[in-house]
Amino acid sequence: MFRPARMQKLSIVTLNQYAKPVVNVLHERGVIQIEDLSDEIQENEYYSGLDVSKQDPVASRIASLSMKCNNILDTLKSAEQSQSMVDVVKGFISPKKINSKEVEDIPSEELADKAEEIISKVDAVLSPIESRINEIGTEETKYNDSLNVATQLKSFDIDFAYLQDTKYTKVISGKLPAEHLADAKSQIEEISEQVAIFEGSKTSSSDVTYIPLIIVCANEFEENISGVLRRLEFEKLDVSNLSGKSNEIIEASKSKLDECKNERKQCLKDIREVGQRSKETLLVLNEELELEKERTEIYSYFGETGTTKMFKAWVVKDDVEETLSIIDELTDGHSIIEVEDPSEEEIDNNKVPVKQQNPGFAKPYELLVTMYSTPNYRDIDPTIIMAICFPFFFGYCLTDAFYGIILAIVGFLLYRGIGKVNKTYKSFGVILVQMGLWTVLLGLLTGGFIGDFIPRFIMGDPNLALPTVIPDINAFAHPENILILAIIIGLIHLNIAFIFGIIDNYKKHNIKELCSGQLSWIMIELSIVAYLVAGMVPFAVVFIIALLLLLYGSGPMGVMDVFGFLGDILSYSRLLALCLSTGGIGMTANLLGQLLAGAVPYVGIVLGVIVFLGVHLFNIAFQSMGAAIHSLRLHFVEFFGNFYTGESESFEPFKAERTYTKIKK
């Protein structure tokens, strides 16, 4: 329960004709993680006589078809109309149920032929539409450019067809920051006096005033003049492909852009119609192709001879017998299987994949543990402790029953909604519900319900307490008791970590680390208990033993670790700090709302309600985030730091993840 699942390694050799059915069935069963032997076969003499297995010949075809199918689905998705916020929320609360379609487990070549036929038919309809959309994009760019140029130069009442280069002259058109106009004129005049400069009306953009310019010069001066203009931040506007006056071009461009917009809408509508007819079929086909791709590509992990294939796989020890039975049945007994426990070298080098095994109530919290790191194969898995302590710490920090009710409702909606189709959201929903329930309980016991809302607005006296409050742990009446309780909880939490550390270090034969890292701190705690119970002499004896253990494990400098130990204990005072800050901000929201409501008739009530709701919404969001972060910190830093190694890879089974399909039985 407190350890990752025990793993074993299978080495399997079977005849070529049995490899595919074995791979397919194990893929559906999802109990093995197949090891990549390709490097070892080439480098290790142990595998002499074996070659790296070649991919299934149809693998590249399957991969290509899978890519095409994905591209088509992306095209269909891009044409879908964007969802409203209401629809998005509905999707979270009540996601659309996916009805899996029964499919036959057909040979790869047959699947490829089927896929090719379906994809070709859909592509024949989509390709012309996509091509036209690309053409529309090119046209839109052209007309937008024309519109921009004509707009920038609209102060010139001239047909742009006359602004074309000739055999002897060049036309330079664009806009120049007004502050550089005088410099531009003077420097151009130095190049040549035979230059015509026409100025348009000033325009402003991004706090900069521009002057539209049309400059006509002899060919020989164009390069020098352009150089001067570039240095003065001149923005060139290309009129070479334009004809007609500015207003005519602007009107024509806008008309063409409207036509493009309408045609694009029609194209997207046509794509959506294709999606309505074909999307479900394509989703099923895509999943079939993806799963077949996994199967065909896995052979590159195998070794082979002319007649046999060999592969290695990690299996949870409890699943070994079933796996052996499956292989034996599928190969008609024509297989050789060797079962091994992980070697010390594999364990020490974190080569053993780790599968956590926790009871149902703790399973969602594996998500939080792996956020830090996957447990080492030898580690004690702290998930159960985290499942108990994390939501409790969170509730201790937040301590407002109404806030807890909101969080629990949100968590329940996630669990019952999108959690049905997404495991991560399901786990998060469970965690959120438990966080909310602890917040409700501790809020009622310590006096938090929308701050002091009930005493202030219902009971008529903000100094009164909720009927559910235990007087000695009323957060604002006796914060010192909340602090003492937080320190006691912290000591219990840390001592669990010390016990885990002692067990792990003993098994790893890290005796010095055991003495200095955990046992010495337990002895220091016992010395304090001895003092309280029996006086100074027992205290001195136990404390000296603790110091000797510390010196043995860490040397003279290890004594400095005492301050670190005290710091770890005091870290749990943050439970009090966040508890008081949540309640304090909540009370402030209530007081401000009350003052505003009473200050100005009618309007004050509206302002009071707005401030009341705004501050409370901010408080629940900000304090919930803080409570979660600090609860995680108490685990990741103070708790894990005393025993947890991590740094392993999770067990990733070779498994067919099906959403849109199910194998026909």
Query: Could you tell me what percent of the chain has a pLDDT over 90?
Result: 57
Residue located via tokens 């994009």? 137
Rounded Cα gap, residues 357 and 353, in angstroms: 13
3-state class (DSSP) for residue 171: strand
Nearest residue to 435 (alpha-carbon basis) of 451, 414, 456: 414
Rounded Cα gap, residues 74 and 126, in angstroms: 12
Distance from chain centroid for Cα 506: 38
Cα distances from 486 to residues 268, 490, 544, 638, in angstroms, run 60, 6, 28, 14
What per-residue string of b and e applies to 551-586 under the rule 16 or more CB within 10 Å gives b? Answer: bebbeeebeebeeebeebbebbebbbbbbbbbbebb
313: left (phi over 0), alpha (psi -120 to 50) or beta: beta
Q: Give the strand pairing for 101-103 and 661-663.
A: parallel
Nearest residue to 503 (alpha-carbon basis) of 347, 644, 350: 644
Question: How many Cα atoms occupy the beta-carbon half-sphere of 70 within 13 Å?
Answer: 10
Nearest residue to 385 (alpha-carbon basis) of 484, 519, 500, 525: 500
In this predicted structure, the answer to whether residue 428 has a pLDDT above a threshold of 70 is: yes
**DSSP label of 472:** G
85-116 residue pLDDT tens = 777 777 777 788 888 898 988 889 999 999 99
Rounded Cα gap, residues 237 and 150, in angstroms: 9
Question: Which residues does residue 630 pair with via DSSP β-bridges, in sequence order?
Answer: none
Taking residues 624-638, what's their average pLDDT?
93
224-265 residue pLDDT tens = 999 999 999 999 998 888 889 999 999 999 999 999 999 999
Look at residue 647 in the predicted model and tell me its pLDDT. Answer: 83
Look at residue 650 in the predicted model and tell me its pLDDT. Answer: 93
Taking residues 447-453, what's their average pLDDT?
89
Rounded Cα gap, residues 120 and 287, in angstroms: 17
Taking residues 213-225, what's their average pLDDT?
91
**Residue 593 confidence class, pLDDT cut points 50, 70, 90:** confident
Question: How many Cα atoms occupy the beta-carbon half-sphere of 633 within 13 Å?
Answer: 13
Nearest residue to 93 (alpha-carbon basis) of 407, 421, 403: 421
E-only strand ranges, 389-456: none
Look at residue 562 in the predicted model and tell me its pLDDT. Answer: 66
Phi, psi of 103 (to 5 degrees): -130, 155
In this predicted structure, the answer to whether residue 281 has a pLDDT above a threshold of 70 is: yes
In this predicted structure, the answer to whether residue 627 has a pLDDT above a threshold of 80 is: yes
Name 153's Cβ contacts closer than 8 Å, sequence gap at least 6.
160, 173, 200, 212, 214, 237, 239, 246
Alpha-carbon Rg for the chain, nearest whole angstrom, is 37
Phi, psi of 2 (to 5 degrees): -95, 10
Look at residue 642 in the predicted model and tell me its pLDDT. Answer: 84
Nearest residue to 330 (alpha-carbon basis) of 13, 20, 104: 20
Rounded Cα gap, residues 35 and 32, in angstroms: 9
**pLDDT: which is higher, 56 or 376:** 376
3-state class (DSSP) for residue 88: helix
Rounded Cα gap, residues 63 and 486, in angstroms: 57
In this predicted structure, the answer to whether residue 555 has a pLDDT above a threshold of 90 is: no
300-312 residue pLDDT tens = 999 999 899 999 9
317-338 residue pLDDT tens = 999 999 999 999 999 999 999 9
Rounded Cα gap, residues 391 and 411, in angstroms: 13
Average pLDDT, the chain: 89
3-state class (DSSP) for residue 30: coil
**Residue 563 confidence class, pLDDT cut points 50, 70, 90:** low
Distance from chain centroid for Cα 563: 37
Residue located via tokens 């891009």? 78
**Residue 22 confidence class, pLDDT cut points 50, 70, 90:** very high
3-state class (DSSP) for residue 153: coil
- DSSP-assigned letters across all residues of 328-390: HHHTTT-EEEEEEPPPHHHHHTT-S-B-----TTTGGGHHHHHHH-BPPTTSPP-HHHHHHHH
490-525 residue pLDDT tens = 999 999 998 898 888 888 777 777 776 777 777 777
473: left (phi over 0), alpha (psi -120 to 50) or beta: alpha
346-403 residue pLDDT tens = 888 889 999 999 999 999 999 999 999 999 898 899 999 999 999 999 999 999 999 9
Taking residues 608-624, what's their average pLDDT?
91
Instruction: Identify the H or E element spanning 199.
Output: strand 196-199
Name 648's Cβ contacts closer than 8 Å, sequence gap at least 6.
350, 352, 353, 354, 373, 374, 375, 376, 377, 379
Tokens representing residue 619 in the block: 């408080």
* Alpha-helical runs (H) found in 241-348: 246-297, 320-330, 344-348
Nearest residue to 573 (alpha-carbon basis) of 480, 492, 473, 483: 483
**Length, in residues, of the chain:** 665
Phi, psi of 197 (to 5 degrees): -115, 120
Rounded Cα gap, residues 451 and 454, in angstroms: 8
Look at residue 554 in the predicted model and tell me its pLDDT. Answer: 67
**pLDDT: which is higher, 317 or 163:** 317
**DSSP label of 317:** G
Nearest residue to 366 (alpha-carbon basis) of 431, 433, 422, 299: 431
* Alpha-helical runs (H) found in 535-602: 536-554, 561-571, 574-599
Instruction: Identify the H or E element spanning 414.
Output: helix 401-416
Name 497's Cβ contacts closer than 8 Å, sequence gap at least 6.
518, 638, 639, 640, 641, 642, 643
**pLDDT: which is higher, 619 or 461:** 619
Look at residue 530 in the predicted model and tell me its pLDDT. Answer: 75
Look at residue 564 in the predicted model and tell me its pLDDT. Answer: 67
Contact 273, 75 (CB under 8 A): no
Tokens representing residue 226 in the block: 């352009």
Taking residues 37-41, what's their average pLDDT?
88
